[in-house]
Amino acid sequence: MSDVLELVDVSVVRDGRALVDQISWSVAEGERWVILGPNGAGKTTLLNIASSYLFPTKGDAVILGEKLGSVDVFDLRPRIGVAGAAMADKMPRRQTVLETVLTAAYGMTAHWRESYDRSDEDRARLILDRLGMAEYADRKFGTLSEGERKRTLISRAIMTDPELLLLDEPAAGLDLGGREDLVRRLGRLARDPIAPSMIMVTHHVEEIAPGFTHVLMIRQGRVVAAGPIELELNSRNLSHCFGLPLIVERRADRWTAHGLPLT
C-alpha cells in the first residue's frame, strides 16, 4: 500500500513558536485516521498541511505522492476533499444544497452556470441521499441546521471522488441525535472499501465511528501516540494527551472516555 500522506520532521513555526513540532507521520492508502488532541494542540494546523493550504516551515510533506513545494497545489487540491468550519464559512448562504455540492465538481464555492452535466447532478443527488440529505436538495444552505450543514459539506467533499478525505470536527455542535446519525453515516463511509483514505479531527472519542483504523494523538504540537486504534487508544495515552487522568473504554465498536472523580 502506498502512502497518501507522509510527513517527515514537519514543523510549523509562527512568531518563534512551533505550532507543530517535528512531526513524522504517514497515512497509507485505505487507512482511516482520527486525530485527537486538546484545544490548541495543532490538529487543524496538521489538517491544513494535509490539504496543501499550509506549507511546513521545516521538514517534508508528501501528499498523494507529491511533495509540497515541488508541486502545483492547484493540481493537487482537486484530489483532496475537505469538510470543516472554514469551508462552511465560504459557502454562499443563498445557494441551494444541490448547488453547494455540485460546485465542488467545478472547483468553486459559488453557483456559476444555469445547467450542470446530468451525470454530475445524478452523482450529487446520490451522495446527498447517502448522507440523508436528498429531501433538502432545493433548500438554501443558509437555512440549514448545523447537522444538515455538516452533512451537506461532507457530501460536497466527496463529490469530486477525492483520494484523500479530510474532516475537521464533523460532529462539533451537534446534539446527541445529530451526532449519532452522523457517526452512523461516517461509519458506513469508513467501512466502504472504495471510499477514500480518511483523516478526521475530533475532540471526543465518542465521535469515532466504527471503521476508523488508526489514531494520532497530539499535544502541544508533538506526537503522543500514533498507530492502530485498538493498540494506541488507551487510558494511558489519552490521559497523557489531554493532561489529566482519563479512562477510555470500548463497547460494541464505539469508544467512551471519562475523567476520574476528584478526591
Residues in region 7-26 near ligand ATP by CB under 6 A = 14-15, 19
DSSP helix/strand/coil, 175: coil
- Cβ atoms of 84 and 166 within 8 Å: the answer is yes
84 near ligand ATP, judged by CB under 6 A: no
Say which residues have a Cβ less than 8 Å from residue 113's Cβ, sequence separation at least 6: none
89 near ligand ATP, judged by CB under 6 A: no
Shortest CB 212 distance to ligand ATP, Å: 18
138 near ligand ATP, judged by CB under 6 A: no
Q: Which DSSP helix (H) or strand (E) runs through 189?
A: helix 176-191
Q: Which one among 39, 115, 119, 263 touches ligand ATP, defined by CB under 6 A?
A: 39
Shortest CB 137 distance to ligand ATP, Å: 31
51 near ligand ATP, judged by CB under 6 A: no
Ranges assigned E (strand) in 40-196: 58-63, 66-67, 80-83, 164-168
Across the beta sheet with 32-36, the strand order is 80-83, 164-168, 197-202, 32-36, 214-219, 222-228
- Cβ atoms of 116 and 96 within 8 Å: the answer is no
56 near ligand ATP, judged by CB under 6 A: no
Shortest CB 95 distance to ligand ATP, Å: 26
Shortest CB 30 distance to ligand ATP, Å: 25
- Given the rule CB under 6 A, which residues bind ligand ATP? 14-15, 19, 37, 39-45
